[in-house]
Structure 1
Amino acid sequence: MQNLWISAGIALNDGADLIKAQTELQHLMEKTALEPGCIAFEIRQNLERPEHFTLWECWTGEDALKAHFEAPHTVAYLKLGLTKVNYIERLGPIGNRPTGTQS
């Protein structure tokens, strides 16, 4: 079984407090790193646009990622409404394409 790698871009919602978002994202990162099935979970802040963040994640599989979205700390963070998702990328090794895709 291959690990599931995720890259996601999020941005501060209009009217949300940047300092609060930074604090809550740090808390989310610390709690998520302790979840079963989490291999890596990092959140980085864009230096030129501090209201933008990139999440780098690695999970043991789909079940671990699904459990992450059901974890109390994730649910609590999402309820705050501080950020919105700009993109989510599911990543794999070079040359590894799902069946049925063409270049």
Structure 2
Amino acid sequence: MSQFWIQAELVVTQPEKLQQTQTELLKLQELTLQEAGCIQFSVCQVKGDPYRFNLWESWVDENAFALHMQASYTQGYFAQNLTEVATSQRLIPLTVKCTELMESAC
């Protein structure tokens, strides 16, 4: 299997809980970075819009990402309903040849 990349934009659902959202995202980041299959998990707040965050993630493979999504702390973050996913995109680094992505459209 090959490395798996994903980018997601999160929007705060409860503006009055912005500080709590930031704290919980930082906790999620800290725990996620300890996962064996995690290569990168960066949380960035959008400059000029404090109620939007971007996640940049890299995993050893898609299975590692799936395990992350099932982790108790990931599910615990979602259960708080602090954010919703505005966009989510799987990414392909330009270093990967299209022929290596048998089932993906290039």
TM superposition score normalised by structure 2: 0.87
- Indicate the larger mover: 14-23 or 78-87: 14-23
Could you say which residue in structure 2 is the equivalent of 1:101? 105
Q: Which residue number in structure 2 is paired with residue 32 of structure 1?
A: 32
Sequence identity, in percent? 35
The 1:100/1:5 distance shift into structure 2, 3 A limit, reads closer
Stretches of structure 1 lacking an aligned partner (at least 5 in a row): none
Alignment of structure 1 residues 1-103 onto 2, 5 Å: 1-15=1-15, 17-94=17-94, 96=98, 99=103, 101=105
What amino acid is aligned across from residue 69 of structure 1 in structure 2?
M
Contact 2:5–2:91 under 8 Å retained in 1: yes
- RMSD, aligned α-carbons: 1.7
Partners of 2:74 and 2:105 in 1: CA distance: 32
CA shift in 2, pair 1:24/1:53, >3 Å: same
Does the residue aligned with 2:47 lie in a helix, a strand or coil? coil
Q: Deviations over 1:44-63 (max 9, x none)?
A: 00110000000000001111
Letter in 1 for 2:13: N
Structure 1 stretches of 4+ with a deviation exceeding 4 A read none
CA displacement at 1:15 relative to structure 2: 4.9
Tell me, in whole angstroms, the C-alpha distance in 2 between the residues paired with 1:73 and 1:99.
32
Identify unmatched segments of 5+ residues in structure 2. Answer: none
Partner Cα separation in structure 1 for residue 20 and residue 87 of structure 2: 22
Contact preservation (8 Å) 1:16, 1:82: no
Aligned residues: 102
